[in-house]
Structure 1
Amino acid sequence: MIKIYAPASIGNVGVGFDILGAAIKPINGNHLGDCITVTLSNKFTLENKGVFSNKLPKDVKKNIVWKCWLKFCNVINENVPVSIVLEKNMPVGSGLGSSACSVVSTFFAMNKICNNPLNSQELLSLMGELEGEISGSIHYDNVAPSYLGGLQLILEDSQIISQQLPCFKNWLWIVAWPGINVSTAEARGILPKKYTKEICIKNSRYLSGFVHSLYSKQPDLAARLMRDFIAEPYRIKLLPNFLKTKKEIKKIGAMSCGISGSGPTIFAVSDDIEIAQKISLWLSKNYLQNNTGFVHICALDLKGARIIG
């Protein structure tokens, strides 16, 4: 038996659409992610547990975990009968890499219990493929940080899919999920098919400047450059009062603020715990739409997916 935890993640990190992703962990020590327990058995079984398990499809073959298991068995060309327990602690369609948590933890667990037939690059490639089947296009900005930890730059080079970037250890990442859902496929479908040359140049300048500021240790510059010209202007209609919320938390003292992945979760960055707490309190009172929503003050999760039992 093996139990794997895969952390939540912030896709895009504002300035890096489909190119940047950050794994996060609440500073209070709680887990924010999914757990998978896999036991070798005589047939495949799947049990769903956890806070958000009631949101999963009743048909096992529509469950992401089953799809991962089947894909893994096909790749290694062996039917591996297992009993799987999914602890679904992440809300579906939240913008925090919920599907990635399930994908990463399942592939990681299956590889471990089968004595690692796939290397990390092969495993990450499978994770991206499965994410693509769910959302409509292959992207690694959630699976890579959830699997590898930290702030990841997606390269999709023939030999290297993703590499970790340095980041500022004192940065706090406040995430707020309002308690409503946004389909990743819908959020991607709302984007234009083409962008102007000016927007492409501007986005490239901000993204390259952001990466430069990380390596040259300029946190204020990095925060100023965390702007989204690709998705945010079109996705704000999917989020409750986003522009007002952004303005208010900037007024409180947030260094930066943006949409996490496809939304509706938003994130803010601060290097001061008191400001982070004020932002968290304001978001709890003003951004959450119901009692299932949540706000967490997080740090980067540098470990990524790991064995916890």
Structure 2
Amino acid sequence: MKNSIKVFAPATVANVVCGFDVLGFAVNEPGDEVIMQLTDKPGVVITKITGDNGRLPLDASKNTVSASVQHYLHHINRPDIGVSIELHKKMPIGSGLGSSSASTVAGLFAINSLMNNQLSANELLPFAMKGEELACGYGHADNVAPALMGGFVLIRSYEPLDIIRLPHPDNMYAAIVYPEVDVPTKDARQMIRSKVLLKDAVTQWGNIAGLVSGLFMKDFDLIGRSMTDVLVEPTRSILIPDFYKLREIALSNGGISFGISGSGPSVFAFAKDENTAHNITQQIQQHLSGLKIGSKAFISKVNEGGPRILD
């Protein structure tokens, strides 16, 4: 049995505009890295965190990575195991790109690998959702499921948990821009209406079904016209600088869709090729720069592999 491992887990785009809490996909970059070592002293400890500017707790019971590992070890009846964790944040916290999810999934994938893969990805998912619950108060799976399994996923049901991997066009690129403004996930969730009009629900159901159908049919036009959100985006878009202008820029430069990634402030557009995706991010970043807002951009196909061992 190996006693140390280094793992990368990817960022994710959750909701995918109309699929609040039920759709998400993994991207190739950014992501987080975890270095894990088995030790002689029982218990889980975090020895080092980088890239977080001191924002994340070193207390093992309060950090999503270590807390999830503790749940895992308890489940497999190995609380006697000693684990030392280094977390290296390679992506912005509070970006809407599944920062806590990437860390948690990297930790779970690492400990499961060191324990000779006792659990499948499906069996690891509830532990990852526990990490999300610690991070934002609600154990949703639209970030952790694609981060853990790779690909584009649908959460058909939470009780019981039912995860379905969806196909998608091979040449579809996500153009992602993270405006460097602060949108805490907990605050963004609290803004959402708890009750919706039936006519709005019907519109949303149609769009979700249209998006899933478009992915299966690899029909960019159907994907694009289905990616409309009448429930969450109208409220959350208030938190994102010039959101509707950014949408206009993306669509006028060849994007087939545009929306908020997770709870924001990151935004993304789907494009039919890499050059178009690059042009969209450049134009959006240029506009944000004019507003005196810094930003980071990422271009990626859907990441099919999920987490991976680095050495």
TM surpasses 0.5: yes
1:132-281 equivalent positions in 2, closer than 5 A? 132-156=133-157, 161-281=162-282
Deviations 1:157-186 (A, max 9, x none): 667631210101111101111112321111
Which residue matches 1:21?
24
Matched residue type, 1:287: L
Deviations 1:221-274 (A, max 9, x none): 111111112210110111111111111221222111000000000001111333
Matched residue type, 1:308: L
C-alpha deviation, 1:61, in angstroms: 3.8
Deviations 1:105-163 (A, max 9, x none): 11111111122332322211221232123222221100011011111011236676312
The answer on 1:33 being equivalent to 2:31 is: yes
Matched residue type, 1:32: P
Matched residue type, 1:141: D
Contact (CA 8 Å) 1:176, 1:287: kept in 2 or not? no
Query: Could you tell me the percent identity over the aligned residues?
Result: 35
Describe the shift of the 1:286–1:60 C-alpha distance in structure 2 as closer, same or farther (beyond 3 A).
farther
* Cα distance in 2 for residues equivalent to 1:59 and 1:103: 15
Matched residue type, 1:62: K
Contact (CA 8 Å) 2:101, 2:143: kept in 1 or not? yes
* Cα distance in 2 for residues equivalent to 1:160 and 1:58: 31
Which residue matches 2:92?
91
The answer on 1:103 being equivalent to 2:104 is: yes
Describe the shift of the 1:157–1:45 C-alpha distance in structure 2 as closer, same or farther (beyond 3 A).
closer
* Cα distance in 1 for residues equivalent to 2:190 and 2:208: 23
The answer on 1:282 being equivalent to 2:287 is: no
Deviations 1:74-109 (A, max 9, x none): 222322211111111121111000010011111111
Which residue matches 1:115?
116
Number of residues paired by the alignment? 303
* Cα distance in 2 for residues equivalent to 1:66 and 1:92: 17
Matched residue type, 1:73: L
Matched residue type, 2:301: A
What RMSD in Å do the two structures reach over aligned CA positions? 1.9
Contact (CA 8 Å) 1:150, 1:165: kept in 2 or not? yes
Please, which runs of 5 or more residues in structure 2 have no aligned partner?
none
Please, which runs of 5 or more residues in structure 1 have no aligned partner?
26-30
C-alpha deviation, 1:59, in angstroms: 4.3
State the TM-score, normalized to the length of structure 1. Answer: 0.92
Which residue matches 1:71?
71
* Cα distance in 1 for residues equivalent to 2:139 and 2:51: 28
Contact (CA 8 Å) 1:3, 1:109: kept in 2 or not? yes
State the TM-score, normalized to the length of structure 2. Answer: 0.91
Contact (CA 8 Å) 1:8, 1:23: kept in 2 or not? yes
Contact (CA 8 Å) 1:121, 1:160: kept in 2 or not? no
Higher strand proportion = 2
Describe the shift of the 1:272–1:19 C-alpha distance in structure 2 as closer, same or farther (beyond 3 A).
same
User: What secondary structure does 1:125 align onto?
Assistant: helix
Which residue matches 2:6?
3
Match of 2:305 among 299, 303, 306: 303
Describe the shift of the 1:135–1:157 C-alpha distance in structure 2 as closer, same or farther (beyond 3 A).
closer
Higher mean C-alpha displacement, 119-128 vs 295-304: 119-128
C-alpha deviation, 1:305, in angstroms: 1.1
Describe the shift of the 1:249–1:16 C-alpha distance in structure 2 as closer, same or farther (beyond 3 A).
same
